C-alpha cells in the first residue's frame, strides 16, 4: 500500500483556502428567506413544517463510530481521531428535496446525517455539548456550489419547480447546466448500499478534507445492483431500509480525502469533485449499525420535531470551510427556528443517546 504520509497537504489556515466573494452575506440572507418560504408553503399544504431540505425521513438508526488507535500520524487529526475510541451515534437516512411526500421512485439525491456522542475537545463558541454532527449527500459534487449559485438555483426551483420543461429551459442557459441537471439522473437504489459524501470541505486538524461514507459489508455491496422500478411503490426506499436493518448488521467505512492542490481541489466552489485517483481516500473510522427497527415512529418524530444536525455543532478542529458552509451557518438555524415556530416545538441539544427513543 502506498505511503500517503508525506504528501504536500494544504494547511487549513493557508490564506488561499477561504476567500469570501463580494455580496456573499446578502446572498446568504436571501437564501435563508427563500428556504423559510419553502417551509411555509409546505406548511400551508400539510399543516406541519419540515426542514427546507432533506424533508423526507427514510429511517433513523443507532450505531457506533469506531476510531482505530493505529492511524498514521497525518491522520491522527482533531480530538476525534487523535486516539482510538468508540462513540455512540444516531443516524438518519433521508431524501434531499424539501418535499416530505416525494415519491421514492423519483431519482433524487439522498442524504445521511449522524450525531456522535461523548466527543470531547474545543467546541465552537455557544455550543457546549460533547457531540459532533456530520452530514452527507449521495452526490459527490454539490449543485448549490456557492452562495450566489444557491440563491439563483433556489429561486428557479421556487418559480419553476412544478414545471420541469420550463425549469430546464432556464438551467440550460447556465454554464453549470450539467451539474444542475445531474440530480435528476442519480442512480436510485438501496439507501444502505449508497455511498455518501460531504460534498464540501472541512478542517481536519492541521489539514483540509472532504469525507465520505462507504458501505463495506458484502450484503450492502450486493444490494447496490438492484434499482427502484415503477411498480415498487412510492415508499420503497423506506421499506427496503426497514427490511434490511431488521435482518442485517450494517457497516460503513468513514474515509477522508486530503487537499493538496487548491486549484484542482477548490474549497470555495463545491461543484467540483476532487479526483480520487490523484487524491486517494483514506479510512479513519468505521460506522457499525446493529440490527434494529429503522422506522421507529417515536424516534422519527423526536428527530424531526426536536433535533437538528448542523456541521457547525462540534469541534473547532473540524470547522466547516468554504462558501456553502458559511451559508449553512446562517440558513440552518433560520430553517430550524421556522420549523419549531410553525410546529410549536422546542429544539433540544441532545447530549446522550439515551435521551433519544
Report the pLDDT value the prediction gives residue 84, as an integer from 0 to 100: 97
Closest CA to 63 of 188, 250, 240: 250
DSSP collapsed to 3 states, the chain: CCCCCCCCCCCCCCCCCCCCCCCHHHHHHHHHHHHHHHHHHHHHHHCCCCCCCCCEEEEEEEEEEEECCCCCHHHCCHHHHCCCEEEEEEEEEEECCCCCCCCCCCCCCEEEEEEEECCCCCECCCCCCCEEEEEEECCCCCCCCCHHHHHHHHHHHHHHCCCHHHHHHHHCCCCCHHHHHHHHHCCCECHHHCCEECCCEEEECCEEEEEEEEECCHHHHHHCCCECCHHHCCCHHHHHHHHHHHHCCEEEEEEEEECCCCCCCCCCCCCCCCCCCCCCCEEEEEEEECCCCCCCHHHHHHHHHHCCCCCCCCEHHHCEECHHHHHHHHHHHHHHHHHHHHHCCCCCCCCCHHHCC
Return mean pLDDT, the chain: 96
pLDDT in tens, 174-191: 999 999 999 999 999 999
| Contact in structure between 285 and 81 (CB atoms under 8 Å) | yes
Q: Which residue has the cell 467505512?
A: 253
How far apart, in whole angstroms, are the C-alpha atoms of residue 15 and residue 9? 14
- Cell triple for 90: 444516531
- Is pLDDT at 17 greater than 80 in this prediction? yes
Radius of gyration for the alpha carbons in the chain, expressed in angstroms and rounded: 19
Average pLDDT over residues 115-125: 96
pLDDT in tens, 123-166: 998 888 999 999 999 999 999 999 999 999 999 999 998 899 99
How far apart, in whole angstroms, are the C-alpha atoms of residue 264 and residue 261? 5
- Cell triple for 163: 414545471
Report the pLDDT value the prediction gives residue 266, as an integer from 0 to 100: 98
pLDDT in tens, 230-272: 999 999 999 999 999 999 999 999 999 999 999 999 999 999 9
Report the pLDDT value the prediction gives residue 182, as an integer from 0 to 100: 95
Report the pLDDT value the prediction gives residue 1, as an integer from 0 to 100: 62
Report the pLDDT value the prediction gives residue 70, as an integer from 0 to 100: 95
All residues at 6 or more sequence positions from 245 whose CB lies less than 8 Å from its CB, including other chains: 59, 61, 192, 289, 291, 292, 293, 294
pLDDT in tens, 268-316: 999 999 999 999 999 999 999 999 999 999 999 999 999 989 999 999 9
Residue 245 sits at the vertex; the CA angle it makes with 186 and 226, to the nearest 5 degrees, is 35
Interhelix angle for 323-343 vs 147-160, to 10°? 40
Inter-CA distances, 28 with 34, 126, 273, 324, Å? 10, 21, 23, 9
Domain boundaries, given as residue ranges, for the chain: 24-355
CATH of domain 24-355: 2.40.180.10
Report the pLDDT value the prediction gives residue 289, as an integer from 0 to 100: 98
Closest CA to 80 of 307, 274, 256: 256
Report the pLDDT value the prediction gives residue 99, as an integer from 0 to 100: 87
How far apart, in whole angstroms, are the C-alpha atoms of residue 83 and residue 254? 15
CB contact burial 223-233 (16+ within 10 A = b; e otherwise) = beeeebeeebe
Report the pLDDT value the prediction gives residue 268, as an integer from 0 to 100: 98
Handedness of CA 309, 312, 314, 320 (dihedral sign): positive
- Cell triple for 186: 442519480
- Is pLDDT at 2 greater than 90 in this prediction? no
Closest CA to 143 of 329, 272, 17, 276: 272
Model confidence at 42, in pLDDT bands (50, 70, 90)? confident
Report the pLDDT value the prediction gives residue 184, as an integer from 0 to 100: 94
Amino acid at each position: 500500500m502506498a505511503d500517503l504520509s508525506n504528501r504536500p497537504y494544504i494547511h487549513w489556515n493557508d490564506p488561499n483556502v477561504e476567500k469570501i466573494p463580494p455580496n456573499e452575506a446578502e446572498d446568504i440572507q436571501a437564501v435563508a428567506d427563500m428556504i423559510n418560504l419553502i417551509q411555509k408553503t409546505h406548511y400551508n399544504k400539510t399543516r406541519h413544517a419540515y426542514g427546507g431540505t432533506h424533508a423526507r425521513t427514510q429511517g433513523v438508526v443507532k450505531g457506533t463510530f469506531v476510531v482505530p488507535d493505529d492511524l498514521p500520524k497525518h491522520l491522527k487529526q482533531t480530538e476525534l481521531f487523535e486516539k482510538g475510541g468508540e462513540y455512540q451515534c444516531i443516524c438518519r437516512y433521508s431524501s434531499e428535496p424539501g418535499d416530505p411526500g416525494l415519491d421514492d421512485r423519483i431519482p433524487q439525491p439522498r442524504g445521511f446525517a449522524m450525531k456522535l456522542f461523548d466527543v470531547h475537545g474545543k467546541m465552537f463558541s455557544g455550543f457546549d455539548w460533547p457531540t459532533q454532527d456530520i452530514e452527507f449527500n449521495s452526490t459527490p459534487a454539490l449543485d448549490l456550489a456557492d452562495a450566489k449559485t444557491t440563491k439563483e438555483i433556489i429561486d428557479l426551483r421556487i418559480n419553476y419547480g412544478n414545471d420541469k420543461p420550463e425549469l430546464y429551459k432556464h438551467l440550460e442557459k447556465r454554464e453549470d447546466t450539467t451539474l444542475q441537471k445531474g440530480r435528476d439522473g442519480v442512480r436510485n437504489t438501496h439507501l444502505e448500499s449508497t455511498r455518501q459524501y460531504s460534498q464540501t470541505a472541512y478542517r481536519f486538524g492541521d489539514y483540509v478534507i472532504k469525507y465520505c461514507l462507504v458501505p463495506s459489508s458484502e450484503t450492502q455491496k450486493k444490494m447496490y445492483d438492484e434499482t427502484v422500478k415503477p411498480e415498487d411503490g412510492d415508499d420503497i426506499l423506506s421499506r427496503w431500509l426497514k427490511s434490511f436493518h431488521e435482518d442485517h448488521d450494517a457497516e460503513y467505512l468513514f474515509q477522508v480525502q486530503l487537499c493538496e492542490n487548491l486549484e484542482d481541489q477548490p474549497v470555495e466552489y463545491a461543484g467540483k469533485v476532487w479526483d480520487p485517483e490523484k487524491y486517494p481516500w483514506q479510512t479513519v473510522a468505521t460506522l457499525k449499525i446493529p440490527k434494529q427497527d429503522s422506522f421507529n415512529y417515536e424516534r422519527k418524530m423526536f428527530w424531526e420535531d426536536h433535533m437538528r444536525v448542523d456541521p457547525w455543532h462540534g469541534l473547532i478542529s473540524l470547522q466547516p470551510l468554504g462558501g456553502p458552509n458559511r451559508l449553512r451557518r446562517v440558513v440552518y438555524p433560520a430553517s430550524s427556528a421556522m420549523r419549531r415556530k410553525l410546529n410549536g416545538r422546542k429544539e433540544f441539544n441532545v447530549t446522550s443517546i439515551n435521551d433519544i427513543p
